[in-house]
A and B are shown apart, each in its own frame.
Chain A
Amino acid sequence: MKTFKFLAIFFLAATVFVSCSDDDSGDNNPEPVNEEETITTMTITLVPEGGGDTVTFQSQDLDGDGPNAPVVTVSDLAGNTTYNATIVLLNETENPAENITEEVEEEADEHQFIFEIGGSVASAVATDQDGNGNPVGIEFNLETNTAGSGSLTVTLRHEPTKPNDGTLSGAGGETDIAVTFNFNITQ
């Protein structure tokens, strides 16, 4: 009898222990996290040398790693023209938008934009340099040929081999951005 009494108390104690367990879930909702490192937007501003219309290329992916693909917008370029181009990177998931270009500038020796061209584009060459005298590519010159279609693929590599031959395979490292712009060259 004593045994059963003991057992009964034991199971009872166990039940009480369990039912008393934590119930403080309350209304404390977790705070949201905004991705700080996502780059949502790349804007390239192309200013023609010797005057003319400034052209803007943009790739924008407002949901970051979400399911929506980036939206790419381009305008026509003029033929036989050299454009002084500048890249701006933004994280627009934050409010106000964070300028990521500054972070790339600060770590210029660990980053490089690689340019690949197609169609009537004659060349795309970085005009800026990091502390070691190697190209970075936040600023670059883009030169067009005569009229036709053209393409420009901009790839930002993190921790590339520097200096390199300006190709993707020569640069190595890992990709932070890869965007292709297809456009027309008029005239």
Chain B
Amino acid sequence: MNSLKTIWLAMFLPFLIFGQDCDLKLTGTVIDYHDQSMLPGATITILNSDKATLSNLDGTFLIKNLCAGNYEIEVSHPECSTVFIPIEITEDRTIEIKLEHHLEELKEVEVVGNSTRKQTNSAQESTLKLAEIEQYTIGSLGDALKELSGVSTLNTGAFISKPAIHGLNGSRVLLLNNGVRMQDMEWGDEHAPNIDINAAGKITVVKGASALKYGGDAIGGVILVEPLTVINKDSLFGKTVISGATNGRGGNINTELTKSYKSGWYVRGQVSYKRLGDQEAPDYVLSNTGIQNFGVNFNAGKRTFEMGWEAYYSYINTEIAILRASHIGNTDDLIRSINSRQPLVIRDFTYDLLNPRQQVGHHLAKGLFYKRFEGLGKLSLQYDFQQNQRFEYDIRRGEDDDRASIDLRLTTHTLSTDFKWDANAKLDVTVGLLARYQENFPNPDTGVRRLIPDYEKYDFGSFLIGEYKATADLTFDAGFRYDFSRIDAKKFYITSRWEERGYDQEFNDLIIEDLGTQLLVNPILDFNNISTTFGAAYAKDSNRKLRLNFALAKRAPNPSELFSDGLHHSASRIELGDLRIKSETSHKVSFSWEEKFEHWSFTLAPYANYIDDFILLEPTNVEFTLRGAFPVWSYRQTNARLFGLDFNANANWIANLNTAHQFSIVKGTDTENDIPIINIPAANTLNSITFLKPEWNNFEFSLTSNYVFEQNETPPNIIIFSPEQNQEVELDINSAPDAYHLINIQTQLQFNLGKNNNLTTSLLINNLTNTVYRDYLNRQRYFADDLGRNIIIQLKFNY
């Protein structure tokens, strides 16, 4: 009866309201119901009309010149069952269509407005789509992620950018590159993820440890970087993006090509190259801040509903020069830098990448196989291999200038398998197992004592997660994970350090060789960690969504937290790990409230994270060497509390004008000592206004304002003795810089170049007003201002 009525309405309503505006637009995204990937190539037909279109590469589609009224649309895709959806159009409308992949199940479809791709049922998540990612081809992954509320970055200069989620970074944030957990020395502050943003088709951020499938230790969260999904049809397509930037006077070129077949076979390749010289602050050149980056990846496989496999290989090689003025000798040099308010070394612009600099190469290879068993579920098996080779070059005396000070090679093998039981329409259960072996080799030829020791690490993990759809509106989820890890290290300690740390009282049985001034020690450390999560999601009429999630996660200390021992010239500090450090435990409660109205929508997402034995690195005392005095930064454990809130709103004011608003704040407290936690991002708000005119070659113009407040909660500064001044002085290393406001603009046009080919031109201006600023989370804030105006021109050919 209902369907009859719909058809009747669909057929006659357009005529009844004939004479009204007929310039309405229907836009939307077609998504795979199961793996939530964007579906390109789906046919969207408005029944009883001549209007039809195909969804684009990123799954989006647009149908123009619709009259107000009730319609029925047919959505079909070679891999999925065809569905029919009744829809009422009274204004421009955006819908999300989920296509059911299951051939054996009932034809089912959900039409929900604008919800983002979900990795978990009840945790807070955000997604960056291809169009947003493409704006950052010349930047870094971190730059792009900063678009999302609750995500910030810890930077060393412009290109070393570590993502932080809800105030937590480093080993607390897992990065998955096409399903492979990155093993690339994420422990160091100046170690950025080795991911080429040009290879990303979609980036999803899960804020918190709820995505247990990927690991139990994601106290900060999980970032999933994935290439675009290939669809099963006979086609050959590709794109080339060329970008040029004024700041750094360089550019980036990226090109990719995909060949796919209806049978499910596909092959894809992508190459990118980036080269920039010294960056510039508004008032001076930031000497020695250039970059060279080369990335390639290759992908082949066969994907069908019942079975498939994939082989993937990627390699990235990045060479980044580190601001010359940030390399300093001792504490007095640091005091001089902080007080002078401008870099102590300013030279003319150059493309040369001089010391200090780092060069990192990362190989990643993956093989994946899956098979679906009718009426049971899907089994996946994956093996991946990674090798990360890191060189860091310091300013050294004499011939040593070309010899790396740090030369580490990290090799990882991972085997994982999971089985998803989804035969029951209401209940999905996934079980999985993981085994990993990792080896770190620090090359002794550097002539510098090893920063990270030789070690072998074994991991074993298992998980069980389930989702139960209680009613049409309410879904529950729960998960449990167990992880075991063992680190077997061989490390040299200076004898005096061994004694100063008090290890001679507790760990003398670990000594395997005594060389007089140095001791060779063989610690074998085991960690058993349990993580769990449960939550519920409630969705009413797709206009209101409520999610509540609890996650308990434990993270084993990383090698840097355990073994760090030595002088960091770039940071002018002695960093000391501690063999006694144990796992930290986070308890996080998060809630999100999403509401949609006719012309606007908002999401309010507060959270609270209590972390027991939180591992942090902070200045503790001072040690003297012949070089002078150095602050000592030690890892210690304490109890911590993080409270935060993310707010998002979108509004369509008139047909071609919309605005977006974002606000994020997080407060971190060391509850044992009642002091603020170091490196917590300052509150910030991002507001943008966008004007769209599809008739003018898809003209788009947007203006974005980014206001970052001053971080007013920082740990106290430390008092140290300055030999140069011959007195105790306050070392101003924890004070935060002033608030700042940046304005960015972006505009783009699209031109059709014949069938299936088009050209998109964009112009972006970052820091339009050339504002002088420093950011609390940039480690070079002691030495120099942040980046000045940058004009970026981008040409994108789709073919």
Residues of A near any B CB (own CB < 8 A): 3, 6-7, 10-11, 14, 17-18, 21-22, 25, 29-37, 39-42, 59, 61-70, 93, 100, 103-104, 106-107, 153, 155, 157-159, 168-169, 172-180
Contact = CB atoms under 8 A, between A and B. Distances in A.
A18 B625 CA distance: 47
Contact of B398 (A3, A31, A34, A107): A107
B626 A179 contact: yes
B446 A175 contact: no
Nearest to A59: B626
A66 B494 contact: yes
Contacts of B682: none
Interface stretch (B7-15, B198-206, B413-421): B413-421
B456 A25 contact: yes
Given A14-B415, A18-B460, 6 more contacts: A29-B520, A37-B447, A69-B623, A175-B330, A177-B626, A180-B723
B448 A35 contact: yes
A157 B512 CA distance: 40
Given A42-B626, A66-B497, A18 B435 contact: yes
Contacts of B379: 7, 10
Nearest to B327: A174
Nearest to A25: B456
Contacts of B774: none
A158 B442 CA distance: 28
A111 B447 CA distance: 21
A92 to B, nearest CB: 10
> What 7 A-B pairs come out closest when comparing CB atoms?
A175-B329, A174-B329, A36-B447, A178-B628, A67-B500, A18-B435, A69-B624
A94 to B, nearest CB: 10
Contacts of A11: 417, 433
Contacts of B500: 66-68
Nearest to A35: B449
A103 B442 CA distance: 27
B491 to A, nearest CB: 8
B450 A106 contact: no
A153 B495 CA distance: 30
B638 interface: no
Contacts of B395: 158-159, 174
A129 to B, nearest CB: 20
A21 B437 contact: yes
Contacts of A70: 624-626
14 contacts: A30-B444, A36-B400, A37-B448, A42-B626, A67-B496, A67-B623, A70-B626, A93-B517, A158-B395, A174-B327, A174-B328, A174-B395, A177-B626, A180-B723
Contact of B449 (A6, A33, A178): A33
B437 A22 contact: yes
B447 A3 contact: no
Contact of A106 (B336, B344, B398): B398
B376 A3 contact: yes
Given A37-B448, A65-B625, A178-B330, A172 B344 contact: yes
Nearest to A157: B329
Contact of B496 (A17, A21, A36, A68): A68
Given A25-B488, A33-B449, A176-B329, A61 B626 contact: yes
Contacts of A65: 449, 494, 566-567, 574, 625
Given A3-B373, A67-B500, A178-B332, A29 B512 contact: yes
A178 B628 CA distance: 5
Contacts of B453: 30
A21 B492 contact: no
A177 B329 CA distance: 8
Contacts of A7: 373, 379, 419
B659 interface: no
Interface string B267-280: 00000000000000
Contacts of A61: 624-626
B381 interface: yes
Nearest to A92: B517
A56 B797 CA distance: 74
B515 interface: yes
B490 interface: yes
Contacts of B417: 10-11, 14
Contact of A175 (B398, B518, B567, B628): B628
A112 to B, nearest CB: 13
Interface centre among B381, B397, B566 (most CB of A within 10 A): B397
Nearest to A13: B381
B665 to A, nearest CB: 38
B755 interface: no
B412 to A, nearest CB: 11
Interface in B428-482: 433, 435, 437, 439, 442, 444, 446-450, 453-454, 456, 460
B627 interface: yes
Contacts of A33: 444, 446-450, 492
A21 B329 contact: no
Interface string B609-630: 0000000000000011111100
Nearest to B722: A178
B497 A63 contact: yes
B333 interface: yes
Nearest to A62: B517
A110 to B, nearest CB: 8
